[in-house]
Amino acid sequence: MPLYEINQNDYYSINIEEIHFISLNLLNPLTTSENLQKWLEKDLAKFHQLNKWIILLINKPIFMQLDDFSKNELEFYASLQEIFKEFNVDLVITIGGDHYKRTMPMVGQKIYSFKNYDNVKHHKKCYSLSDCDNEFMVDPEAPIYISESYNEITKENNETNFTIVSNNKEGFGMIQSLNRTHLLFEQLGFKGELIDRFFLIKSRNIGVLEPMPLENKSNEINHIIYLIMFLVVCLVFLLGVLIWYVRKKYLSHKEKFLINYEMQSL
């Protein structure tokens, strides 16, 4: 944990562009739970109204009810998840292993809805993979969990109810904040193969969705192409005018030369 040697804290936060990152050490949850929870609520209260993306990095899959979690641990993790939802945390990423998983928006074992990019105006809510495309997740009502650890997770009986993507390939995740309303997450294998890719899109606290960045990029390319075509047409037109003007001048000089030559011959 950054600055641990100075303050002995198991928590840390930092802003990077439009993203507010929070890192929590949960290896000793019962000895740090009170201070950690108070600090987390204070930190989230400060930043969740600033329209920043909020991403948590933790080292335990607290959304699971694993056998090695004690009763007190489960209660503490449940309270953390309620805090995540209260303050509109966008992503919770568990790091430290070799198994990738992306979940539905959830708190504990309860699944919440999200909307697709195409049906935002129609307010259609998605509670399962059969309802909507999971590549564009709009205004999820709870945090989405990205797990990159703990193969034991796959043994859970209810795993398929909330799991969107599950893969055993080792890899790494990349996060890109495209603007205030669009976040891109990609999970890649170490050989560069794409394991998962999705856009997290939100309009809450903003009121409107900014244009899709990829659409903007496409429009910019189209505008450049149209501009080049227009310049080429103008260049061809000017070249034609120049050729006509030079030819006209040439014929005029030729005609004058012939007239002068004939007059001198007489």
Examine the pLDDT at 28 and tell me if it is beyond 80.
no
Q: Which helix (DSSP H) or strand (DSSP E) does residue 101 occupy? A: strand 100-103
Beta-carbon-side half-sphere exposure of residue 11 (alpha carbons within 13 Å): 16
Q: CB neighbours (10 Å) of residue 236? A: 10
Predicted confidence at residue 194, as pLDDT, reads 92
Predicted confidence at residue 54, as pLDDT, reads 93
Q: Tell me the per-residue pLDDT of 146-190, one tens digit each, with 9 for 90 and over.
A: 987 654 444 444 555 788 888 888 888 899 988 888 899 999 988
Predicted confidence at residue 157, as pLDDT, reads 44
CATH superfamily, region 4-209: Metallo-dependent phosphatases (3.60.21.10)
Examine the pLDDT at 76 and tell me if it is beyond 70.
yes
Q: Which helix (DSSP H) or strand (DSSP E) does residue 264 occupy? A: helix 213-265
Task: Decide which of 161 and 88 is more confident.
Answer: 88
> How far is residue 80's CA from residue 60's CA, in Å, rounded to a whole number?
12
Examine the pLDDT at 143 and tell me if it is beyond 90.
yes
CA distances 36 to 93, 139, 241, Å, are 17, 27, 77
Examine the pLDDT at 68 and tell me if it is beyond 60.
yes
Mean residue pLDDT across the chain: 78
Q: Tell me the per-residue pLDDT of 211-227, one tens digit each, with 9 for 90 and over.
A: 555 544 455 566 678 78
pLDDT classification of 67: cutoffs 50, 70, 90:
low
Kindly report whether the global pTM for this prediction surpasses the value 0.75. no
Q: Are 40 and 24 in contact (CB under 8 A)?
A: yes
Q: Are 63 and 145 in contact (CB under 8 A)?
A: yes
Share of the chain above pLDDT 90, in %: 18
Q: Are 40 and 83 in contact (CB under 8 A)?
A: yes
